[in-house]
Amino acid sequence: MTEWVMKPRRYVPDLRRLGALCEGNYRRLEQLRQVESIGQPCSEFELHRNDTYLGRVRIQVLQTAKYTETLLLEQIHNGGRWLNNPELTVRVYHDAGMAEVISWRREKRIAPVNDYPNRFMHHPDEKVQVNSFLADWLDFCLRFGHAPFELVTWTNG
């Protein structure tokens, strides 16, 4: 008797979905940075949900070029050692209007496609998933982010 063995289909990245995520992330970042001090090498804001302090987010410019910027986005929370705070390196392409996660935790480059299974058990669509996480996190920051009181500038109008 002959057994049929199905060969797993190779993952093909959905470039439209990835492109849409990167375009949306660019818009979210620009909106978030308008609230903050754009052009500064580092800016921070706090996250509050009602009266609950959720931590602080830092956006640091690591590198600038004519059409691109590399940013480090990290959330700092002193609420306990059990939290795994986001720390993403994002390349911003101003000419294309896109922002893409290029690494996380300052050490891991994200491959466009991963064979599966693999040594580190990364998903085949890891790049899409990490950029989707960035979209959700930026939405959260836009909704709950507030400039700390000491950074607010008062003007007489």
Residue 9 lies in a domain: no
Across all residues in the chain, what is the average pLDDT? 80
Any residues with CB less than 8 A from the CB of 36 and at least 6 apart, and which?
43, 44, 45, 59, 147
pLDDT, tens digit (0-9, with 9 covering 90-100), for 85-98: 888 999 999 999 99
The structure tokens listed for 21 are 């995520």
Residue 2 lies in a domain: no
Q: Which domain range does residue 32 map to?
A: 20-145
Using 50, 70 and 90 to split pLDDT, how confident is the model at 120?
Answer: low
Residue 27 lies in a domain: yes
Q: Which residues pair with 99 in a beta bridge?
A: 92
Residue 44 lies in a domain: yes
**What number of other Cβ atoms are within 10 A of residue 35's Cβ?**
14
Residue 7 lies in a domain: no
Q: Which residues pair with 76 in a beta bridge?
A: 56
Residue 4 lies in a domain: no
If one counts the domains in the chain, the total is 1
Q: What is the pLDDT of residue 70?
A: 95
Residue 6 has pLDDT above 60, yes or no: yes
Q: What is the DSSP letter of 137?
A: H
CA distance 16 to 30: 21
Q: What is the pLDDT of residue 41?
A: 74
Residue 156 lies in a domain: no
Sheet holding 52-64, edge to edge: 108-109, 98-104, 87-93, 68-76, 52-64, 42-49, 145-146
How many residues are listed for the chain in this entry? 157
Please compute the mean of the pLDDT values over residues 15-42 and round it to a whole number: 83
Please compute the mean of the pLDDT values over residues 132-148 and round it to a whole number: 89
By percentage, how much of the chain surpasses pLDDT 70?
69
* pTM listed for this prediction: 0.77
